[in-house]
A = this chain, B = another copy of it.
Amino acid sequence: MSIRLGIMGYGNLGRGVECAVRQNPDMELKVVFTRRDPASVKVLTEGAKVVSADDAADYKDEIDVLIICGGSATDLPVMTPKYAKLFNCIDSFDTHANIGSHFANVDAAAKESGKVAMISVGWDPGMFSLNRAYAEAVLPEGKAYTFWGKGVSQGHSDAIRRIEGVKDARQYTIPVESALEAVRSGANPDLSTREKHTRECFVVLEEGADAAKVENEIKTMPNYFADYDTTVHFISEEELMRDHAGIPHGGFVIRSGKTGWNKENNHVIEYSLKLDSNPEFTSSVLVAYARAAYRMNKEGQCGCKTVLDVAPAYLSPKSGDELRHELL
């Protein structure tokens, strides 16, 4: 019998989940919940229903795991504790500073219902977190670095769009190659924010806007750009659509550390992702963890989990024997 999935929210991430489910024959998309008018939402999967989010509770016994595809700022802090009372859940909550309180809220809800709810699943937090944790456990005397990019930062693109005179914008975060090389060499450099990443912005102006003023506002924007070397390119709307329509991303987690009685030997562990589509890759991770949530709950586990709490074998449709034979 397939694992029956629901998707809450049908944006980039929800559509990515739908595509990922198609690649996993042990899973089936049963229903997409939406806050829009269900009649206005067309999904790709034959046989999957589109239902108002208000009626989600009616599907309590018809789906095994709900994948919540909402935003971290306002959606997930409400949605995940709410739905963990009804379903095994997965979310991709990525506001690092608030993970502690989100975990506590979701844990209470999921323990009450006896469900498993996994938060902060994706690639960072997610696959990158795993790699930070494994590398630190194996090389305790060392130093870890995370670099992001080259990729589109949605948050930074939005911040530019809010500037007066800006019609549209795309921002790329780019790791500094010389910093990557220094880290890979095992030199354990101390790197400032500016030394790790640069920011490149492609901006479409409203007619009559003052380019110099917009450029200055971008480059001096606190938190977002002021601490970085930022380049601003003004381009036409056509160029933006033609050359910057994708949502690529990726990055690097690198840890170097010493071993030996006198720390005489150096080791470098590097994990990297090069992603054509940030939301589709995140969705693929969500779906693998949905399988884990289903199985762990079947075994009697409940409460809030993160990727750090999940044994890798739970993610694969393969049996223990198959895994040991094919992948170990």
A-to-B contact residues, CB < 8 Å = 16, 18-20, 22-24, 44, 96, 99-100, 103, 120, 125, 127, 129-134, 136-141, 184, 259-261, 265-277, 280-281, 283-285, 288, 291, 306-313, 315-316, 320-321, 323-325, 327-328
Contact = CB atoms under 8 A, between A and B. Distances in A.
A131 B328 CA distance: 10
A325 B96 CA distance: 8
Given A137-B315, A309-B313, 20 more contacts: A22-B261, A100-B325, A103-B324, A120-B328, A127-B269, A129-B328, A132-B327, A133-B313, A134-B312, A134-B315, A137-B288, A137-B291, A138-B285, A259-B280, A259-B281, A259-B283, A265-B280, A268-B274, A306-B323, A308-B328
Contacts of A266: 276
A285 B131 CA distance: 14
Contacts of A277: 259-260, 265, 267
A125 B328 contact: yes
Contacts of A309: 311, 313, 320
Given A130-B312, A133-B316, A23 B141 contact: yes
A271 B273 contact: no
Nearest to A134: B312
